[in-house]
Chains A and B, each alone.
Chain A
Amino acid sequence: MKILLSKPGLDGHDVGVKVLAYALKDAGFDVAYTGLRKSVEEILEMAQKQQADVIGLSILSGTHLIIAEHFRNCMKERGIQIPWVVGGNIPARDVDPLMKLGPDKVFPTGTQLKEVVEYFKSLT
């Protein structure tokens, strides 16, 4: 399974997403990373090009609801139907509103690495 981890928006905090990338690689996944400050459109293009099976969005600046909504709309427009997940600095009270925007899973603040790895294993 190919996982594309991404950093949408202007937020430059990438320690978490890189740590997760290493953890997923150690667990045997094929992982690609977009790098910082990618637009939703760029992320989807990379996902198609690299034939990703799942996309992860890492957002720590508080813009998760805005970005997730835009992401959902762009996926619809392009007819892309693959699982996507959101993680980062996500307050617990935003988990439900976020889930309503269509991601397959939200990993709020404080999620353990192994929980995320287990989730991706459950997709295979």
Chain B
Amino acid sequence: MTESTKKEKLKEVFLESGIPVKPVYTRKDVEDCRMEEELPGQYPFTRGIHAEMYRKRPFTIRQYAGFASPEETNERFHFLLENGQTGLNVAFDLPTQCGLDSDSPEAYGEVGRVGMTVDSLEDFEIAFQNIDLNQITVSLTINGAAIVLIAMYFALAEKWGYDISQLRGTAQNDILKEFIGRGTWIFPVDKSVKLVVDTIEYCAQHVPKYSPVSVCGYHIRESGANPVQEMAYAFCIAKAYSDGSLRRGLDIDEFASRLSFNFDIHGNFFEQVAKFRGGRRLWAKIMREEYHAQNDNSCWLRMIAGGGGGGLTKEQPENNIIRSAYYALVSALSGTQTMALCSYDEAYTIPTEKAAELSLRTMQILIHETGVCDTADPLGGSYYVEALTSRFEEEIREEMIKVEAWGGIEQAIETGKIQESVSRQAYIRETGLQQGTIPKVGLNMFVREEEAKPVDFHPYNEEAANRQIAKVRRLREHRDNAKVNKLLAHIREDAMADRNLMPSIIAAVKEYATVGEVIGVLKACYGKFQEPIFI
């Protein structure tokens, strides 16, 4: 047999992003790469944003958790602080996420179901009771109603006498990805972006240590996008927020270092590593070459990269423990700043404590036993990884150009182009999984008969929901309604005059205007998003 016929017999391999993979990579494949000049901590940061990376400080572990009431959240905060932890992700229920009060008819059956309910500042006062806001960093997982919740957090801090110029914390506040996946949008696209830019501008001027936006490729990927699209769409979104902020007269270095990213890990190991390395290089170049950022930290792709639920299966769920360990390894080898993992039982139920502990231990074993923290970018210099890194940089850039051809990210979302491209891919992937062309152990290969899994939700606590409803009704009776109405009118005026809404929203929520009332005023001014239907 000749060498060439032997080669033909090897099966072709393509990554999920469509990139072909050779059977072997050599020096020739990296001739165009400038890998010998690249160093961790140096522009364009392909090898990591810090020189010493985890040798100096390992990645942060941050798990997501939801608690139904402000009272429970407060208990949890105290527990965490007593155990030496300093951060918590706060999940909100769907009415809060959609800007509805607990007593709104649309909220029926949803109050406190998937996270904490917040109607007014009163709820924040309970949630953060006896907590030193300088000691903790709170991450608010909120998008559609983000401006109100961020304003409420600042209002609380001011009311309690904190200097907000020193206040730290983060908000997800990435509304553009909500139109692509997750779906808690409220206002039309342009007005939605305006509100995000209001928070960026306000923070740059008054709360400079706060991270007002975490751009989420994660949910875009979970909705069906391939790894190239995950990065490309996230970068287009981050650029849209940056462009809006520049139009306000801000300098790129005044806000770029406070933008962070949230990415997803599942699928091909090397594809993910290259995605992050190539993405980091490209983002740095975009910031420096297109936006002329002077500061290095404006060019950093700061990220949380975690094992995504999209890679886990309900079948043979223990396999997810192994998958998650690989995802965690990818995340560490990709130089993430923060890591989170889905629990192995999360594909079908509320994570048990045991499962949540296993996720934590997976990351701790990685940090303390495997040596991944000893040296920065241990995969740097691998022919395959470096070649793929450069390929990813190119592919992401090309995908971004495609979005430009659709009229830019905002228009592509308004017309549904992005949503359609993502959901079509979700269909192709699902069909591939069900037909077995995309291999998945336990799902379409090495399958065994299994007992039905105990799919479960937290039982709905109707009593607690009713208490919350009574609380907001009582509040409306006892607050100074004349004052509240005047302050809501201010928000309306500012919205109509296209001014930054943060000051008037902070003033209104301080007097206990509710989330639903503030969002209601904005709905009356801006209208609602008309979802493009392409099916």
Contacts and interface: CB of A to CB of B under 8 A. Distances in A.
Given A22-B535, A89-B457, 12 more contacts: A9-B94, A10-B95, A11-B94, A14-B423, A15-B426, A18-B426, A18-B427, A19-B430, A35-B531, A63-B109, A110-B314, A114-B434
Interface string B106-123: 111110011000000000
A31 interface: yes
B181 interface: yes
22 contacts: A9-B94, A9-B109, A9-B110, A12-B178, A12-B183, A13-B182, A13-B183, A15-B222, A22-B535, A31-B535, A32-B535, A35-B531, A35-B533, A37-B98, A37-B183, A61-B110, A62-B458, A66-B108, A89-B457, A91-B457, A92-B452, A113-B434
B535 A12 contact: no
A63 B93 CA distance: 12
A25 interface: yes
A25 to B, nearest CB: 7
A10 B95 CA distance: 7
B48 interface: no
Contacts, number: 95
Contact of A62 (B100, B178, B183, B457): B457
A67 interface: yes
Given A23-B427, A66-B109, A92 B434 contact: no
B224 interface: yes
Interface residues of chain A: helix, strand, loop or mixed (majority): loop
A49 B242 CA distance: 43
Contacts of B526: none
Interface string A60-93: 0111001100000000000000000000011110
A44 interface: no
Interface size class for chain B?
35 or more
A61 B531 CA distance: 20
A5 to B, nearest CB: 8
A95 B458 CA distance: 17
B223 interface: yes
Contacts of A67: 109
A4 B310 CA distance: 27
B345 to A, nearest CB: 13
A10 B314 contact: no
A109 B455 contact: yes
Interface in B441-476: 452-458, 460
B270 interface: no
Interface residues of A, number: 37
A29 to B, nearest CB: 11
A39 B110 CA distance: 14
Indicate the member of A12, A23, A113 with the most B CB atoms within 10 Å.
A12
Contact of A10 (B106, B427, B431, B453): B106
Interface in A4-63: 5, 9-15, 18-19, 21-23, 25, 31-37, 39, 61-63
Nearest to B419: A18
Contacts of A15: 181, 222-224, 423, 426
A108 B457 CA distance: 13
Contact of A19 (B113, B181, B427): B427
B348 interface: yes
A10 B98 contact: yes
B424 interface: yes
Nearest to A12: B183
Indicate the member of A21, A22, A67 with the most B CB atoms within 10 Å.
A22
Contacts of A89: 455, 457
B389 interface: no
A32 B535 CA distance: 7
A10 B186 CA distance: 11
Nearest to B530: A35
- Give me the 8 closest cross-chain CB pairs, A-B, nearest first: A12-B183, A66-B109, A10-B94, A91-B455, A35-B531, A22-B427, A62-B457, A18-B423
B445 to A, nearest CB: 16
A122 interface: no
Nearest to B224: A15
A31 B107 CA distance: 28
A113 B430 contact: yes
Contacts of A114: 434
A112 B434 contact: yes
B102 interface: no
